[in-house]
Amino acid sequence: MSTQKSKGIVVSRDRLKFLPARMAHSGMYACVVTSPDLNMTEFMNVTIHRKTTGCNVPDHLMYKTVNGSAKNPKITCPTIFYYNWSAPVQWFKNCKALQGPKYRAHRAYLFIKNVGRDDEGDYTCKFTHTENGTSYIVTATRSFIVEADHQSTYYIVAGCSLLLMFISVLVIALKVFWIEVALFWRDIVTPYKIQNDGKLYDAYIIYPRVFEGSSAGTTSVEYFVHHTLPDVLEKKCGYKLCIYGRDLLPGQDAATVVESSIQNSRRHMFVLAPHMMHSKEFAYEQEVALHSALIQNNSKVILIEMEPLGEASRLQVGDLQDSLQHLVKMQGTIKWREDHVANKQSLSSKFWKHVRYQMPVPNKLPKMASGVVPLSETQGMFTQNTFELWS
């Protein structure tokens, strides 16, 4: 087609331009294409709307919405490439001119720095079109919506999942190896501690005495109390124990000395064995120690089970004093199995770990070391399971 002008209507090749557009230009237009091989007519209904007042642009006059993100912070001025335009292009958001380092206009594009939800809105580009030496102002408006950064969301979700897995594994590991971790930390940070509570002993040992007609098990309990416990807790760990028959000598007022010694001990260690039911001394010490621990809240109790408590055992839980039964059910016992302990004095054994865990921080360093347990004693520290509790 040849270019022609008629009342502000310009035909330029395959395009029909209204310069400037007026409401009178509304109507039905026909495009006729003729060639040796083809005759075609297409009709198009054109509606020119009245210019709106104020800032709001009706939805039917808006161009296609742009979905942006942190990785795609770009808005393109719509239909600008159909015009004979020249830079610069001015940009407005909700009818306010955009200024500042956050916005950068380049040719037909607007780039937004650090895109966020606050950047959503209606953006208008304004430029100049030149036609046959005459300049016309053109504006176009489109909405901008910020999409969620799916990749960032993926990383956040993946990171949170890994963090939860790590926390879960850490919690499980701490639950399984809590005693080992606590002892390891204590050996490093506070291998010993000066106690200012006025007490003389770290633990008072309550055990059934040898009496005439005692069973063979009595001898093993005596050996455990008078040899095994001191060799490990005193010589290797630096604790001070109070043992009747060693620290409390015959000839003293037994009741007064026992009560005073129990009151001056930070822990009360009960050695539970079948023949304890026939020991009057055990019954008296038990009463004083439980009163100190449960009523006066002056100390803590450690329960060592020399033989299994249960239906198949000579010692039943129901045979114990009520307060002692309560402690067995609440805190459990530490089980000494002489036949199952390969090295009865190894600090790396499960038994001694749990005894040390329930004992206070020693008041002094052991004589055999300078505050650190030998490596041979700590190997395998993190390979043991938790001790068996009575439930």
Contact 125, 77 (CB under 8 A): yes
The pair of structure tokens assigned to 121 is 């809105």
Closest C-alpha to 289, from 234, 327, 232:
327
Q: Which residues contact 103 (CB under 8 A, 6 or more apart)?
A: 91, 110, 111, 112, 113
The tokens for 102 are 């956050």
36: region left, alpha or beta (phi > 0 left; psi from -120 to 50 alpha): alpha
Q: Of 285, 305, 307, 377, which is the active-site residue?
A: 285
Distance from C-alpha of 288 to C-alpha of 298, rounded to nearest angstrom: 11
Compute CA distances 237 → 144, 356, 367, whole Å.
Answer: 72, 8, 9
Going by C-alpha positions, the residue among 242, 239, 266 that lies closest to residue 365 is: 239
What is the distance between the alpha carbons of residues 136 and 19, in angstroms, rounded to a whole number? 7
* C-beta atoms surrounding 201 within 10 Å: 19
Residue 131 among the catalytic residues: no
Q: Do you know the residue count of the chain?
A: 391
Instruction: Name beta bridge partners: 68.
Output: 146
Please say whether the beta carbons of 265 and 258 come within 8 A: no
Cβ atoms 285, 321 nearer than 8 A: no
Between CA 347 and CA 372 the distance in angstroms is 12
Residues involved in catalysis: 285
